[in-house]
Copies of this chain bind each other. A is one copy, B any other.
Amino acid sequence: MVAPLKVGIAGLGTVGTEVVRLIEAQGRMLAMRCGRGIRVTAVTARSKARKRGVDLRGIAWAKSPLALATDPEIDCFVELMGGAGDPALAAIEAALRAGKSVVTANKALIARHGSRLAALAERHGGALNFEAAVGAAIPVVKTLREGLAGTTIQRVYGILNGTCNYILTRMEQEGLSFAECLKDAQRLGYAEANPAFDIDGHDTAQKLAILASLAFGTKVAEKAVYVEGISSIAPADLEAAEQLGYRVKLLGVAVRTAKGIEQRVHPTMVPKSSSIAQVMGVTNAVTIDGDGMPPITLVGPGAGGAATASAVVSDIADVARGTRSLPFGRPVDRLRLTTKAPMERHEGGYYIRLMARDLAGTAATIATRLAEQKISIESIVQRHPDAGREPAANRGKPLPVPVILITYATSEDAVHRALQAVQRDKVITGRPQVIRIEKN
């Protein structure tokens, strides 16, 4: 039997502690599965003194992540500290240079430095595994890297942030405002005190950049992702979506187009019948459209100690077993540079919600302006304001009336030009709400 794989873990938060526990608890099963044992031989974390509820006796304490990464006594360096830069970055680089394999759950770091780290791994013969960086235990990295090796992928898209999906689900199901749901998410620990990274779409963008690289062979580049968050979504949009047969989800979408790979994160209308539309609460999901076959959708927990640790341990088991897949599925020198797709050239259907000043002529004006841009309308709904909600002071004065449009496929550019014209016509009040539609 081969000698056990010696693992060093940097970072002993919820995930790191659970990885130590799991490797210990599942020792026999892992040895059976991998044909060799897996042993945590050294760890490091910010505080040695902190109580963690896991037995660290017999495990060496390294004086720093860098020292652990280059410790000749470990074969596999597991980075669970987080952060897109040092000390995580320097430690991973050092481990790879020393020919060790690296397992990490660090999406920010892979999104920013993934290609460079993959090149190091290739050069020195180590693995670089990061299943936990996207969708925790949902096996999406492995599926794109190994499972669809011979299939050309046309599109990969998903719900990659549990916080946003939790908020949108509550808004939809209870008719609450964005602000109320965000507050609840914070109270329940689903959203950070500073929620911008999640709700503005940046967390999703980092994960999408990783998926796009795996799916399309592009150099992972967070900067190539167009990003829009969910804070502008109003209960009125969710209500209209419901009536029109859609749901609103924050999607990360990477798609092959004639103009290159488009990577974008934005609130999206998805048909209620699609698998992705069924995904509620903090659950994540990824759909993969392969050439010539119906979509594959992977659904599961996108975060959480047990789910993340499960993915980390699977990655370690692959190292122990000797599996060496290229980090992004292809040699780094074959990964193509990708640039940010100009969204004004995006093509698709659109949901548009406008507040018409005066019902009589407005619909005609809007329809004309859209027609001038050659935009075809799939449906148009004008809703009379609920009389019960009308304040007494306003009686007699006409209130703005919501006009909701669904367009057939057109270009974003055309939509903007049409809406600018409508605004110049002064037939609407406030800013138009525009949400892109993604068909399944």
A-B CB contact pairs (8 Å), 24 listed: A26-B151, A29-B149, A30-B149, A30-B150, A32-B330, A35-B326, A137-B290, A137-B296, A139-B142, A139-B143, A142-B143, A146-B321, A149-B313, A149-B317, A149-B318, A275-B299, A283-B294, A290-B307, A293-B301, A293-B306, A293-B307, A293-B310, A296-B298, A297-B299
The yes or no answer to A379 lying at the interface (CB within 8 A) is: no
The yes or no answer to A292 lying at the interface (CB within 8 A) is: yes
Interface of A is mostly: mixed
The yes or no answer to A260 lying at the interface (CB within 8 A) is: no
Are B26 and A313 neighbours in the complex by a CB distance under 8 Å? no
Please report the C-alpha to C-alpha distance between residue A34 and residue B296 in the assembled complex, in whole angstroms.
Answer: 23
Query: Quick one: which of B300, B311, B317, B334 contacts A32, CB cutoff 8 A?
Result: B334
The yes or no answer to A4 lying at the interface (CB within 8 A) is: no
Identify the A interface with B (CB < 8 A): 22-23, 26, 29-30, 32-35, 131, 137-139, 142-143, 146-152, 273, 275, 278-280, 283, 290-301, 304, 306-307, 309-311, 313-314, 316-318, 321-326, 329-331, 334
Q: Which residues of B contact A33 (CB under 8 A)?
A: 149, 326, 329-330
Q: A22-B150, A142-B147, A150-B30 are in contact. Are A306 and B318 (CB under 8 A)?
A: no
Nearest B residue to A298, CB-CB: B298
Are A151 and B139 neighbours in the complex by a CB distance under 8 Å? no
Nearest B residue to A310, CB-CB: B151
Please report the C-alpha to C-alpha distance between residue A279 and residue B295 in the assembled complex, in whole angstroms.
Answer: 12
Please report the C-alpha to C-alpha distance between residue A298 and residue B326 in the assembled complex, in whole angstroms.
Answer: 24
Q: Which residues of B contact A297 (CB under 8 A)?
A: 298-300
Q: Which residues of B contact A321 (CB under 8 A)?
A: 146, 323-325
> From residue A151, how far is it (CB to closest CB) to chain B in Å?
5
Are A324 and B322 neighbours in the complex by a CB distance under 8 Å? yes
Query: Quick one: which of B150, B296, B318, B322 contacts A313, CB cutoff 8 A?
Result: B150
Q: Which residues of B contact A148 (CB under 8 A)?
A: 137, 139, 310, 314
Please report the C-alpha to C-alpha distance between residue A334 and residue B291 in the assembled complex, in whole angstroms.
Answer: 39
> From residue A227, how far is it (CB to closest CB) to chain B in Å?
27
Are A317 and B150 neighbours in the complex by a CB distance under 8 Å? yes
Q: Which residues of B contact A313 (CB under 8 A)?
A: 149-151
Q: Which residues of B contact A22 (CB under 8 A)?
A: 150-151
Q: Which residues of B contact A151 (CB under 8 A)?
A: 22, 26, 137, 310, 313-314
Please report the C-alpha to C-alpha distance between residue A325 and residue B322 in the assembled complex, in whole angstroms.
Answer: 9
Query: Quick one: which of B35, B150, B307 contacts A314, CB cutoff 8 A?
Result: B150
Q: Which residues of B contact A35 (CB under 8 A)?
A: 326
> From residue A307, how far is it (CB to closest CB) to chain B in Å?
4
Q: A29-B152, A148-B310, A149-B317 are in contact. List 6 more A-B contacts (CB 8 A).
A: A29-B149, A35-B326, A137-B290, A275-B299, A293-B307, A293-B310
Closest 8 CB pairs of A and B: A150-B313, A149-B317, A296-B300, A292-B306, A139-B147, A278-B278, A294-B301, A293-B307
Nearest B residue to A23, CB-CB: B150
> From residue A275, how far is it (CB to closest CB) to chain B in Å?
5
Nearest B residue to A308, CB-CB: B293
> From residue A249, how far is it (CB to closest CB) to chain B in Å?
14
Nearest B residue to A122, CB-CB: B35
> From residue A99, how far is it (CB to closest CB) to chain B in Å?
18
Query: Quick one: which of B137, B294, B298, B301 contacts A304, CB cutoff 8 A?
Result: B294
Are A147 and B314 neighbours in the complex by a CB distance under 8 Å? yes
Are A150 and B294 neighbours in the complex by a CB distance under 8 Å? no
Query: Quick one: which of B34, B306, B317 contacts A291, CB cutoff 8 A?
Result: B306
